[in-house]
Amino acid sequence: MSAALLVRVLRDPASVTTLDATGWNGLIAAARAERLIGTLAFRLADLAVPPAVQPVLADARTDAAREARQALWEADRAVQALRPLDVRVILLKGTAYAAAGLRAGQGRFIGDLDILVPRDRLAAVEQALIAAGWEWVKEDAYDDAYYRQWMHELPPMIHRTRDRMIDVHHTILPLTARPKPDAAALIVDAEPIADGLYMLSAEDRVCHAAAHMLADGDLQGGLRNLWDIYGLLAECDPSLLDQRAAHHGLRAHVQQARRLALALYGDGARLTLWDRLVRARLLARDGWGRETRKLLVFAFFVRSHWLRMPPLMLARHLWTKWRKGHRPT
């Protein structure tokens, strides 16, 4: 209910003129739950809103601007730490959008710093970051081995004084996932931003966003991811995108992401039955921004694990995690 309202307002900001107090409460609750409050504030910046709403949106714009500055500072620190290695620092997700001034970065919440580097340079990158003050979020022998053998990134690291996390990727999907994106092509075709920073090409940015949303997760934060995709689609060539998605084994995911983005945020699109299930999951919030359709949410949670690894490996992994979580003290 509130998620559908949020989608409508992002698509057509002027529609807020019809909202009463209950509608505004639901809109803000959904925007906060989906981490789209900064984006919403940006979209409504030129519109008259009720006095009680003005400070909420003003704070959101201030927070988004501060997060963008912090993200860019962290990116600069990573570049300085890795400069002696002569490694391209390729920004991913929100930090890339903010650094390049892309539409998808306007008001966007930015969490961790995500970077992409060649897999054969991971050891050197890891040591350089440790020397510059980053350390492991938690030390666990099983998790460390699992990340290094099967994941698309190193275990999460955090800076010991700035308390900011960095995720160092060597590709964009876990190695156990069914699609196998061409990481070398992602890196070779990356585009310079400034000051030693790079980002994926326009087509690869869409491929990565679609993969992150539809091939590797349970759709938590899916409305934000889909808003990213909607903005990113406007910056790439459709025919080149189709070719690039096929090259990465992500054509079906990119096509579905495009249909959903146009259906929710654009001029509409014809949806398949599977698209409609995904849309139902994306919109599963009540008037207070709380998740609804619990069985559907759980089904997508189970699916996210199924996507990441074969059944036997998944069973072994879950059994190991369960034993670790229930070990007697």
pLDDT of 181: 97
**Is the entire prediction scored with pTM above 0.95?**
no
Taking the C-alpha atoms of residue 28 and residue 289, their distance in angstroms, rounded to an integer, is 8
pLDDT of 235: 93
**Partners of 157 in the beta sheet?**
136, 166
- Mean pLDDT in residue range 98-106: 93
pLDDT band at 311 (very low <50, low <70, confident <90, very high): low
Residue-wise pLDDT for 185-217, tens only, equals: 999 999 999 888 999 999 999 999 999 999 987
The CATH number given to whatever domain includes residue 237 is 3.30.460.40
Taking the C-alpha atoms of residue 103 and residue 72, their distance in angstroms, rounded to an integer, is 16
> How high is the mean pLDDT of the chain?
91
Beta sheet of 113-116, edge-to-edge order: 134-136, 157-159, 165-169, 113-116, 89-91, 197-199, 191-194
SS3 for 261? helix
The answer for 61, left when phi > 0, alpha when psi is -120 to 50, beta otherwise, is alpha
Taking the C-alpha atoms of residue 223 and residue 219, their distance in angstroms, rounded to an integer, is 8
Q: What domain range is 247 assigned to? A: 2-325
- Domain count for the chain: 1
- Please say if the pLDDT value at position 329 is more than 60: no
- Both tokens of 315, joined, read 């069973």
Taking the C-alpha atoms of residue 207 and residue 249, their distance in angstroms, rounded to an integer, is 10
